[in-house]
């Protein structure tokens, strides 16, 4: 969840590292630091944002090799001392680390007995001391890092500097991403390609258990037992412009506004108007194999999990195959029964979400067939899965997911259409869904045009201490995602319930100070939803209705009308106003919209 950058070349490393850290700040932003080698090892570390670090770096902080880090705290409070890089007592070795060292206390105790003096509360500092003790006895930083990591239990992405070997940086990966960037007589490494695309689009992804040494003239990769590995560079589609705000006040608003385009990209080339089916060659499934699956199980975390709930509903409705969604973090720990006739689908925007990756690896060990729905090409989950669907939504920088959520729901609609047509979905219904999918980008544009209207509603409701979100069946995961968005960026407490469950307990909370956002699509459950609104109003509750028709003022105080699509696809559109509502509430409350407190974009720790 933290950000790592490393550079080896002839240029001054500090400006390159600082620029890379700014692009990675969405992965962690409570403290930051740099280490540079120029005859000696020099470090600068601060509590706060990368801008604070940049202000603290002196003009004479020169050197052509360095490492940098922006932190999301796991061990020890944010402080100058707990910030990375961490160094050994002799200030020879510097380490930046993402992940968690599970046996850090044991290692710290042994190192203390051996004479090491620790200055921070972090688990990461043990790595600097371990490597420093080993490097004294060998002529190879590579060997020192390999030897030290064999004593480590846990997850890591690391970059290591040795002041006595100033022409190289050693990096390693186990559960936390590391990407190499290949330049012209210079090399880079980072935890995300976002830090690299300004300088190169040629990248190499390390696998778990793999290390690399980067020097100005190239790199080589190897395993923990020193076996050389062969890596082919990939060309990244995104460039530095994709990581700019594009004139918007916040990345989040930019990403919400990009959804007509990103949905169109997710659909491009995948809708077949002749046979009314979805072309998904990346699934690597024959029609015979597809028909053999009797169940679909979807796993993801946070917003990915809620999009999986929408996906499960789509698969059941269109393919008539039982489907359900579950948090990946729970799935991997309950010793699930893995069935040969169940298709498993893992969702992750980054493709690096640790809980989801670990669940995929457990499924593979047990012989499960796993598809991935991810946004990042070449990511760990994409590589682990048997096949899948790339979203092509472009980089998502804001911590709160919007365009990736929507594109994931669209990807599930394509998957459900594909399964449905292989099973028993008629050509007529296939045509209806294809036509509905093609209408989505223009309808999202219609909703975005209501931005001023929704901003006014957000200001009206933002001052409440809490809000309730409700929906039935298709509307329930929409309500869950709406509540998630509101709480994570505005810090307004929000709960989501199935509308039918309101009278079984949560109705006790309803009153003038607890508004309800009600998801009311124009479907077969419309009358039941309206009855629930009557129950809320009878208890003095205020209602903001999101649906397909203007609300009866006796049932709702306010209403956002959304264009109607096919009933199965309506949840995709109903989500958009809730994104805008959360965004404008956060702005009204003067929150840090793109970097909400305590959160980070890519969760690569447990």
Alpha-carbon distance values, 499 to 42, 504, 537 (Å)? 59, 10, 14
Helix intervals (H) in 258-379 = 259-267, 287-292, 303-319, 328-331, 354-365
Tokens (6 digits) for 68: 């940098």
Query: What are the Cα distances from residue 242, in Å, to 377, 412, 500, 596?
Result: 15, 25, 42, 21
DSSP state of 198: T
What does each C-alpha distance from 366 to 123, 149, 285, 293, 299 come to in angstroms?
A: 32, 27, 19, 17, 16
Instruction: Reduce the DSSP state of residue 277 to 3 states and report it.
Output: strand
Query: How many residues are given for the chain?
Result: 606
* Cα within 13 Å of Cα(7), Cβ side: 29
Q: What angle do CA 23, 29, 30 make, to 5 degrees?
A: 160
Where do we find the tokens 């911590």?
Answer: 399
| Range list of H helices, 200-258 | 251-257
Query: How far apart are alpha carbons 100 and 522 in whole angstroms?
Result: 48
Distance CA 216, CA 222 (A): 18
Instruction: Determine the Cα–Cα distance for residues 1 and 74; give it in Å rounded to an integer.
Output: 10
Q: What tokens were used for 150? A: 């064999």
Tell me if residue 8 falls in helix, strand or coil.
strand
Active site residue 601: yes
Contact 360, 384 (CB under 8 A): yes
Answer whether 554's CB lies under 8 Å from 537's CB.
Answer: yes
Which residues in 83-99 are b (16+ Cβ under 10 Å) and which e? bbbbbbeeebbbbbbbb
Active site residue 385: no
Catalytic residue of the set 47, 254, 487, 601: 601
DSSP 226-256: --EE----EE-S--GGGGS-TT-SSHHHHHH
Helices (H), 423-545: 427-448, 451-461, 475-490, 526-538
Catalytic residue among 2, 385, 434, 559: 2
Orientation of helix 403-422 relative to helix 427-448, angle to 10°: 170
Q: Tell me the Ramachandran region of residue 331: left when phi exceeds 0, alpha when psi lies from -120 to 50, beta otherwise.
A: alpha
The angle at the Cα of 523, spanning 522 to 528, to the nearest 5 degrees, equals 95
As a dihedral over the C-alpha atoms of residue 422, residue 426, residue 429, residue 430, rounded to 10 degrees, the angle is: 40
Active site residues: 2, 601
């Amino acid at each position: 969840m933290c950000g790592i950058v490393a550079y080896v070349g002839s240029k001054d490393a500090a400006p390159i590292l600082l620029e890379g850290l700014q692009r990675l700040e969405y992965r962690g932003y409570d403290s930051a630091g740099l280490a540079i080698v120029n005859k000696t090892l020099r470090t600068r570390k601060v509590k706060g944002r990368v801008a604070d670090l940049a202000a603290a770096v002196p003009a004479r902080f020169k050197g052509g090799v360095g490492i940098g880090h922006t932190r999301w705290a796991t061990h020890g409070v944010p402080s100058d001392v707990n910030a990375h890089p961490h160094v050994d007592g002799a200030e020879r070795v510097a380490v930046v680390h993402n992940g968690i060292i599970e046996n850090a206390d044991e290692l710290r105790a042994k190192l203390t007995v051996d004479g090491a003096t620790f200055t921070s509360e972090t688990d990461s500092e043990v790595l600097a001391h371990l490597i420093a003790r080993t490097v004294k006895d060998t002529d190879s930083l590579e060997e020192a890092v390999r030897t030290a990591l064999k004593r480590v239990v846990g997850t890591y992405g690391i970059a290591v500097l040795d002041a006595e070997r100033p022409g190289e940086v050693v990096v390693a990966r186990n559960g936390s991403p590391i990407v190499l960037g290949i330049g012209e007589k210079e090399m880079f490494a980072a935890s995300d390609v976002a830090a690299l695309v300004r300088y190169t689009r040629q990248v190499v992804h390390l696998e778990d258990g793999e290390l690399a040494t980067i020097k100005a003239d190239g790199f080589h990769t190897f395993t923990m037992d020193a076996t050389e590995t062969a890596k082919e560079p990939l060309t990244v589609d995104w460039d530095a412009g994709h990581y700019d705000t594009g004139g918007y006040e916040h990345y989040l608003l930019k990403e919400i506004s990009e959804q007509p385009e990103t949905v169109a990209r997710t659909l491009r080339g995948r809708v077949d108007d002749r046979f009314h089916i979805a072309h998904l060659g990346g699934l690597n499934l024959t029609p015979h194999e597809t028909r053999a699956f009797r169940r679909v199980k979807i796993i993801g975390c946070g917003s990915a999990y809620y999009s999986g709930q929408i996906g499960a509903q789509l698969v059941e409705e269109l393919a008539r195959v039982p489907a359900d969604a579950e948090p990946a973090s729970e799935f991997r720990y309950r010793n699930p029964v893995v069935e040969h006739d169940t298709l498993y689908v893992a969702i992750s925007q980054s493709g690096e979400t640790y809980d989801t990756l670990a669940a995929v690896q457990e499924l593979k060990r047990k012989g499960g067939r796993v598809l991935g729905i991810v946004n990042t090409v070449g990511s760990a989950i994409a590589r682990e899965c048997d096949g899948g669907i790339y979203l092509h939504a472009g980089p998502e920088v804001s911590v709160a997911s919007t365009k990736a959520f929507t594109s994931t729901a669209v990807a599930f609609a394509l998957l459900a259409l594909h399964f449905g047509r292989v099973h028993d979905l008629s050509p007529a219904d296939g045509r209806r869904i294809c036509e509905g999918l093609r209408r989505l980008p223009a309808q999202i544009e219609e909703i975005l045009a209501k931005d001023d209207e929704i901003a006014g509603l957000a200001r009206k409701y933002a001052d409440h201490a809490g809000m309730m979100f409700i929906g039935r069946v298709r509307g329930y995961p929409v309500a869950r995602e709406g509540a998630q968005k509101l709480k994570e960026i505005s810090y307004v407490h929000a709960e989501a319930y199935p509308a039918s469950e309101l009278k079984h307990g949560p109705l006790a909370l309803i009153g003038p100070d607890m508004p309800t956002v009600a998801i009311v699509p124009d479907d077969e459950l419309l009358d039941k939803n309206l009855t629930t609104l009557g129950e809320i109003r009878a208890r003095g509750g205020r209602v903001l209705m999101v649906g397909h028709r203007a609300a009866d003022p006796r049932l709702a105080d306010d209403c956002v009308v959304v264009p109607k699509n096919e009933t199965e696809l309506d949840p995709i559109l109903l989500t958009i106003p809730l994104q805008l509502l959360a965004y404008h509430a956060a702005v009204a409350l003067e929150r840090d919209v793109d970097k909400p407190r305590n959160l980070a974009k890519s969760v690569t720790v447990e």
